[in-house]
């Protein structure tokens, strides 16, 4: 299976080159990686002068997982040189620049020859991927150099069909250790890989990132002074399917004392203009966050058109809808769970074990219709208090996962592969 994958990636290269000439997005994708390669090659680094750890994140959520682990390394081993790579273009340059690593870059495409310039220059002792990310050519290149390979905060969805199962087994077998986020993941990995593989449940380091971000922030977020609505329903990371379901609730008489705070997934001007138009079709009682001093606002609908506020705004809400799962997959549920909010989500949560666990505990509700939403927004105060305690407790159980992952990685010598 790995040989087949290797051959297919080689055959794919000419087509990617053609696409990069025809499609602007593909051209930018490759150009960014070319610029990163030039920057890496020119970076002043003395080979084998210090310990090097390479952390890799697929996207924004996995970057949070890496951040918690990177901070532990900076605390325990300040002399260790940390490489941080990401793959998805959804990771903003500003987020990558602010990351606590010594060198940050975007992962090259997974061809057999893609990583030699990184591995030859930095000779990392450890490569840590997060969640479900596995790049076979990268992992094989690391194994040939006897680099310890770890999948941390690991999750897995059950493979569908014979071919996918064979690929999963071949790819995940390339890791020396798989450190799962939850016990259910450990069971699935053991079923796939057998009992001889080192698989341990140590938790999800994203818990630490969420807790650290909230608890170290100096920002106080409260409702506007004399705010006239008794209940705040916060809509986080919304897409068009989310708004199509939820905005009609603005016309429900039973929710006349419920304010809607909307944080769209994207805040570019065209998206905000479109969303303003949709809100106006249901109510004129709205305002844009950036237009008015927040403490003086009295609008029922507040559309937040700036970044960096969401994690703190949960503090002032009563309920939170977390977007993405009506059409794709759910976004971060840990931040609102930290504040104990009853959570609402679409049904597509299978990739997120923390969302599944919160659902099992009764603190996250799967919604598909506005009638289901109405029922949840009218929960009794006793039920809301029970959920608040349960959700908050769940987040606390994840505290310290990054330290546990660090300790497990540090215990292991570099594997003797016999190459």
Query: Which residues are designated catalytic?
Result: 62
Strands (E) located in 289-371: 301-303, 319-322, 343-345, 364-366
β-strand partners of 233: 260, 319
| Cβ 286 vs Cβ 337: under 8 Å | no
In a 13 Å sphere around the CA of 54, the CA atoms on its Cβ side amount to 24
Burial class (CB in 10 A: 0-12, 13-18, 19+), 212: middle
80-93: b or e for each residue (b if 16 or more CB lie within 10 Å)?
bbbbbbbbeeebee
How many CB atoms neighbour CB 159 within 10 A? 15
| Cβ 222 vs Cβ 344: under 8 Å | no
| Cβ 327 vs Cβ 348: under 8 Å | yes
Q: What is the DSSP string of 129-188?
A: EETT---HHHHHHHHHTT-EEEEEEE--PPP-HHHHHHHHHHHHTT-SEEEESSHHHHHH
> What region does 255 belong to: left with phi over 0, alpha with psi -120 to 50, or beta?
alpha
Q: Which residue has the tokens 């079923």?
A: 191
Distances, alpha carbon 314 to alpha carbons 1, 223, 273, in Å? 46, 11, 24
CA separation for the pair 149, 125 (Å, rounded) = 9
Q: What is the DSSP string of 358-374?
A: HHHHTSEEE--SHHHHH
């Amino acid at each position: 299976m790995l040989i087949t994958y290797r051959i297919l990636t080689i055959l794919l290269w000419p087509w990617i080159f053609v696409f990069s000439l025809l499609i602007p997005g593909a051209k930018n994708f490759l150009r960014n990686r070319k610029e990163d390669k030039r920057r890496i090659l020119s970076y002043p680094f003395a080979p084998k002068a210090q310990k090097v750890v390479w952390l890799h994140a697929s996207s924004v959520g996995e970057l949070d997982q890496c951040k918690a682990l990177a901070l532990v390394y900076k605390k325990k081993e300040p002399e260790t040189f940390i490489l941080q790579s990401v793959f998805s273009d959804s990771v903003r340059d500003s987020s990558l620049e602010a990351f606590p690593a010594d060198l940050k870059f975007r992962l090259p495409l997974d061809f057999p020859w893609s990583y030699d310039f990184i591995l030859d220059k930095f000779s990392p002792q450890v490569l840590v991927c997060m969640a479900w990310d596995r790049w076979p050519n990268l992992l094989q290149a690391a194994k040939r150099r006897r680099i310890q390979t770890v999948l941390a905060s690991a999750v897995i969805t059950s493979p569908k069909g014979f071919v996918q199962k064979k690929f999963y087994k071949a790819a995940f077998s390339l890791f020396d250790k798989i450190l799962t986020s939850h016990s259910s993941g450990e069971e699935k990995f053991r079923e796939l890989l057998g009992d001889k593989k080192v698989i341990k449940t140590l938790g999800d380091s994203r818990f630490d990132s969420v807790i650290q971000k909230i608890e170290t922030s100096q920002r106080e977020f409260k409702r506007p002074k004399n705010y006239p609505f008794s209940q705040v329903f916060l809509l986080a990371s919304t897409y068009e399917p989310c708004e199509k379901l939820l905005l009609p609730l603005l016309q429900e008489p039973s929710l006349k004392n419920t304010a809607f705070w909307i944080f769209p997934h994207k805040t570019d001007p065209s998206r905000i203009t479109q969303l303003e138009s949709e809100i106006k079709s249901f109510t004129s009682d709205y305002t844009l966050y950036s237009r008015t001093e927040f403490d003086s606002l009295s609008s029922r609908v507040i559309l937040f058109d700036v970044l960096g506020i969401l994690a703190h705004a949960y503090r002032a809400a009563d309920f939170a809808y977390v977007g993405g799962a009506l059409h794709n997959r759910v976004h971060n549920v840990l931040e609102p769970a930290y504040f104990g909010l009853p959570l609402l989500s679409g049904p597509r949560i299978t990739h997120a074990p923390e969302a599944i666990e919160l659902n099992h505990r009764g603190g996250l509700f799967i919604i598909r219709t506005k009638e289901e939403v109405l029922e949840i927004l009218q929960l009794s105060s006793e039920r809301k208090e029970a959920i608040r305690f349960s959700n908050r407790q769940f987040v606390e159980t994840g505290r310290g996962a990054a330290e546990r992952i660090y300790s497990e990685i540090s215990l292991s010598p570099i594997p003797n592969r016999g190459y």
